[in-house]
Amino acid sequence: MNRIFNMDNKFFVFMGRVADLIILNLIFIVCCIPIVTIGPALTALYYMTLKMARNEETYIIRGFFKSFKENFRQAIVIWLIILVLILLIGMDFSIMNNMDTGGVYTVVRYGLYVIALILAMLTLYVFPVLSKFYNSIKNTMRNALLMALRHLPFTLLMLVVCIAPFIIMFLTVQTLSYGLLIMILLGFSLIAFINSKMLVRIFDHYIPKEEEPESHGTFETLPEEGVFKNLTPTDAPKEEEDGSENDPKK
Higher pLDDT, 205 or 126: 126
Residue 201, pLDDT > 90, answer: yes
- The yes-or-no verdict on residue 133 having pLDDT over 70 is yes
pLDDT of residue 180: 95
Better pLDDT: 5 or 94: 94
Task: Tell me the C-alpha to C-alpha distance, in Å, between residue 247 and each of 37, 41, 158.
Answer: 22, 21, 30
Residue 62 pLDDT exceeds 50: yes
Tell whether the model's pLDDT for residue 221 goes beyond 60: no
Which amino acid is residue 161, in one-letter code?
A: V
Q: Render pLDDT for 236-250 as a digit per residue (tens, 0 to 9).
A: 554 443 444 445 565
- 186 Cβ contact partners less than 8 Å away, ≥ 6 residues apart: 18, 21, 22, 25
* Over residues 170-196, mean pLDDT: 95
Nearest to 209 by CA among 224, 221, 226: 221
Q: Is the pLDDT of residue 224 over 60?
A: no
Rounded to the nearest 5°, which phi and psi values hold at 180?
-60, -40
Delimit the domains of the chain by residue range. 10-246
Confidence check: pLDDT of 222 > 70: no
